[in-house]
Amino acid sequence: MTAAGRDTSAPAVDAAAPVLEMRGITKTFPGVKALSGVDLIVGAGEIHAVCGENGAGKSTLMKVLSGVHPHGSYEGEIRFDGESVAFRDIAESERRGIVIIHQELALVPELSVAENIFLGNEQASRGIISWGATLRDAARLMRRVGLPDSPGTRVAELGVGRQQLVEIAKALSKEVKLLILDEPTAALNDEDSRNLLQLILDLRDQGIACIVISHKLEEIRRIADSVTILRDGRSVETLRVRETPDAEPELSEDRIIRGMVGRDLSSRFPERREYQGPDAGEVAFEVSGWTVRHPVEPRKVVDDVSLTVRRGEIVGIAGLMGAGRTELAMNVFGRSYGVYEGGTVAVNGTPVRTRTVPEAIGHGIAYVTEDRKTFGLNLIDTVHRNISLTSLPSMTRGVAVDEHKEQQVAERYRKSMNIKTPTVFEPVERLSGGNQQKVVLSRWIHAGPEVLILDEPTRGIDVGSKFEIYTVIEELAAQGKAVLFISSELPELLGMCDRIYTMAAGRLTGEVDRDEATQEVLMRYMTATDTEPKVLT
């Protein structure tokens, strides 16, 4: 099942005793062939990773497998447990033991954990739910996945990591044989990610096969037995990561990247500008004494934070989940989260008010949200309208939008940002995550801001698209823009930033120049209990 010309230095997969065979899968949307003759074989009781750049066809392939795209809407054959299957919907695939957990979790926040676990699969007799059986079986499944909460706890009260465990408990309630996880750790902190990865390993040891879609190659090497690489809607090759479950991984990250992008990436980050030091250049963006209260609870989520970003500088903010990074960014940008209690903002040395989003935009501040699907994009609208959204006044004639100008602007960014879409009239929801992120960036770049606040700008994006976005960020800094870069990935901050602030419990705990920054230094400050900021320059 490997492509001709495959690098034979990497061990090929042994597909003996497969639980799943997908052969010649072809799926076409209007104007786009999303999959073209894709093959995928998953062995019984193995963890099989599926890798590829955004738009390679990974999610589409899983939707074909799980019945989201029903039989008859694609070409090719699927065999499961040795039998040919033709799923008409997701309920049919779940009855056979195939369960998919999407990156956007399908939970009802206001219902309890127990209610969510058995939603659509209720413990009922003659139409009457047995709450005793529901709570008892939910508690058993929760123990199995290591979820310590009560079955009656509302899902809204759980963090994202524990919500992932609820989804897995829900899958186990359906007697899952093949579990599909789409970017399972994208929104998790390091500790929750480690716990979830260990659970996946435990499920494998219990005989449950898993397909994991992830852009985090170090995690793939940590848990996967084999990996299938997709590129441009085709299966390029399937390789062994390790020969036995307990063996060390034999497949390097660089080898996986070469399969994904079709070339070597000599560096994960673009060539960096020469940095003149923390005192070089004028201060373009300054936040002083910023304090934010939680919208419901009587506590501060941001406590007396002060920071600066100079022209042409990329400044990072590192912190564990709950540190207050996003809360700070959203409150500065138009009080979009929490209750403002105090602090000032200055742009190019002039104090400004940012009480509303239009006010912040008017002062040259842009904010790229970490949640592009909920807050960053209008998914049902087109690429060209999403790009023009923050710049409509410059595209109007009287009271009407100049659609020709709107289209020209979008077409320019489609080419310069390498947005993979048939036309700029394509609905954004049909684009891959990486291309959606490029649409968000295009919108803000066209608005011409002085300050860009980027909150997890590469979350859920493949290495090739990450490099393209990093290059855009470097170019913006080279043009003299001030960039505030929030990320949970320490290698990303170290590879991109000139200075890095650290936060813990809502307060700044450190400021580190790039020549002194290491993962160990940053982690020490990110976990600090002493909240007096430390400076290393």
pLDDT tens-digit profile of 477-517?
Answer: 999 999 999 998 888 999 999 999 999 889 999 999 988 99
pLDDT recorded at residue 2: 39
Calculate ∠ Cα 260-271-477, nearest 5°: 110
Say whether both 502 and 523 belong to one domain: yes
- What is the distance between the alpha carbons of residues 203 and 296, in angstroms, rounded to a whole number? 38
Rounded to 10 deg, the angle between the 131-145 and 160-172 helix axes is: 120
Does 78 fall in a domain? Answer: yes
Say whether both 89 and 212 belong to one domain: yes
Residue 257 pLDDT > 90: no
Does 510 fall in a domain? Answer: yes
Does 110 fall in a domain? Answer: no
Say whether both 182 and 70 belong to one domain: yes
Say whether both 65 and 23 belong to one domain: yes
Say whether both 390 and 321 belong to one domain: no
pLDDT recorded at residue 190: 75
Nearest to 463 by CA among 504, 495, 486, 423: 495
Does 332 fall in a domain? Answer: yes
Query: Is 265 within 8 Å of 82 (Cβ atoms)?
Result: no
* Sheet (strand 32-43) strand order: 32-43, 18-29, 75-80, 83-85
Q: How many distinct structural domains can be found in the chain? A: 3
Say whether both 220 and 89 belong to one domain: yes
Say whether both 417 and 293 belong to one domain: no
**Beta strands 47-51 and 226-231: pairing type?**
parallel
Say whether both 228 and 377 belong to one domain: no
**Beta strands 98-101 and 178-182: pairing type?**
parallel
Provide the percentage of residues in the chain whose pLDDT is more than 90.
49
Exposure string of 334-371, with b = 16+ CB inside 10 Å and e = fewer, is: bbbbbebeebebbbbeeebebeebeebbebbbbbbbbe
Residue 437 pLDDT > 90: no
pLDDT recorded at residue 531: 52
pLDDT recorded at residue 292: 95
245-250 long-range Cβ contacts below 8 angstroms, 24+ apart:
245/204, 245/205, 249/221, 249/222, 250/10, 250/11
**Lowest mean pLDDT segment, chosen from 13-22, 183-192, 404-413, 525-534:** 525-534
Q: What are phi and psi of 337, to 5 degrees?
A: -145, 145
Does 162 fall in a domain? Answer: no
Say whether both 413 and 322 belong to one domain: no
If you ran DSSP here, which 8-state letter would residue 244 be given? S
Does 409 fall in a domain? Answer: yes
Nearest to 419 by CA among 453, 447, 377, 481: 377
Question: Residues 341-372: pLDDT tens digits?
Answer: 999 999 999 999 999 999 999 999 999 988 88
Count of CB atoms situated within 10 Å of the CB of 107: 20
Does 400 fall in a domain? Answer: yes
Q: 382: domain range?
A: 370-448
Nearest to 52 by CA among 235, 255, 200, 211: 235
Q: What are phi and psi of 43, to 5 degrees?
A: -75, 155
Partners of 300 in beta bridges? 293
Partners of 452 in beta bridges? 366, 483
What's the whole-number mean pLDDT along residues 203-210? 92
Say whether both 35 and 11 belong to one domain: yes
Query: Is 67 within 8 Å of 87 (Cβ atoms)?
Result: yes
- From the number of C-beta atoms within 10 Å of its C-beta (0-12, 13-18, 19+), residue 9 rates as exposed
3-state secondary structure of 426: coil
Show the tokens assigned to 493. Answer: 């901050």
pLDDT recorded at residue 308: 97
Show the tokens assigned to 17. Answer: 């005793």
Provide the percentage of residues in the chain whose pLDDT is more than 70.
93
CB-hemisphere CA count at 13 Å for 228? Answer: 29
- From the number of C-beta atoms within 10 Å of its C-beta (0-12, 13-18, 19+), residue 206 rates as exposed
- What is the distance between the alpha carbons of residues 498 and 275, in angstroms, rounded to a whole number? 7
Residue 5 pLDDT > 70: no
Q: Quickly state the pLDDT bin for 1 (edges 50, 70, 90).
A: very low
Residue 12 pLDDT > 60: no
pLDDT recorded at residue 534: 52
User: Which of 265, 295, 310 lies at the terminal end of a domain, its last residue?
Assistant: 265
Say whether both 216 and 359 belong to one domain: no
What's the whole-number mean pLDDT along residues 201-215? 92
Question: Residues 130-171: pLDDT tens digits?
Answer: 999 999 999 999 998 888 899 999 998 888 778 888 989 998
If you ran DSSP here, which 8-state letter would residue 427 be given? B
Q: Quickly state the pLDDT bin for 226 (edges 50, 70, 90).
A: very high
Say whether both 290 and 432 belong to one domain: no
pLDDT recorded at residue 535: 54
